[in-house]
Amino acid sequence: MYDFQYVKPANLYDAVAAMGSEDAQALSGGQTLTPTMKQRLAQPGTLVDLTGVPELKGIEVGPDSVTIKAATRHVEVERSAELRAAIPALVELASRIGDPQVRNRGTIGGSVANNDPSACYPAAVMALDGVVVTNNREISASDFFQGVYATALEENEIVTAVRFRRPDSASYQKFVQPASRFALTGVFLAKFGPEARVAVTGASENGVFRHAGLEQALSASFTAAAADPVAVSADGMIQDLHGTPAYRAHLIKVMTKRAVQACGG
């Protein structure tokens, strides 16, 4: 490791002020930042630890939406009885992230801000018509995620919460890459009345995305069979030692059909 300044603010005001330091980097769960620092792939001059900010912790369940504060850990989402009653698919998603060590340290804000192309939460934000709340503004999911590890966050901007719209039904189906526990391909399906929203993670070279063809087919007929005639192109899908682009394209449809069946379709 190398020398850097460590700051642990006690409130959001002080956290925003600390982020104004030269080469400042927010630290939440640290599941990506810490190893990249050890490898010298990231070398922030100041680490701003957000875990002591009470305004960034907690889950709020309302009649139409659910808000999860940014420093809320995956294990807290996994164990929330209120959230299980409101959007059980989010609880299931959190319960399958990494391993117990990761779930006890990682946070939703860190996951969303990092925007790993195989992370689970970005698919949920996209499918559940989510809004990313920062210390300055609210950003819709369609505007927030801008490619692999790229978001709409501006310099010194902090994610404070993520707000999800409550669906009629939802399911997250994840084909796990067994070594990393990331999604080799994951599909988050949400149904709002007749509208179906299908968000895919782990498959595309461009990161999380919604599949328009599957959404159109499932909005017309919410059955697993409705996905059969939909073409899922392998163009732009990830090629690595774990799977070919064609394999990932195939998994998108398989995971989507499983999600429909889990929702009773």
- The CATH number given to whatever domain includes residue 127 is 3.30.465.10
Same structural domain, 101 and 180: no
pTM of this prediction? 0.94
Q: DSSP labels for 72-122?
A: -BHHHHHT-HHHHHH-HHHHHHHHTSS-HHHHHH-BHHHHHHH--TT-SHH
Over residues 144-161, the pLDDT tens digits come to 999 999 999 998 899 999
Instruction: Average the pLDDT over each of 33-47, 83-97, 247-261 and give the range with the smallest value.
Output: 33-47
Same structural domain, 161 and 77: yes
CA distance 11 to 240: 43
Same structural domain, 108 and 185: no
Residues forming beta bridges with residue 133, ordered by sequence position: 138, 161
- Residue 79 pLDDT > 80, yes or no? yes
Listed residues 103, 135, 165: the one ending a domain? 165
What is the pairing mode between strands 65-69 and 138-140? unpaired
Same structural domain, 128 and 39: no
- Residue 192 pLDDT > 70, yes or no? yes
27 dihedral zone (left: phi>0; alpha: psi -120 to 50; beta):
beta
Domain hosting residue 257, numbered range? 169-262
Radius of gyration of the chain (CA): 18
Same structural domain, 29 and 127: no
Contact predicate 121/93, CB 8 Å:
yes
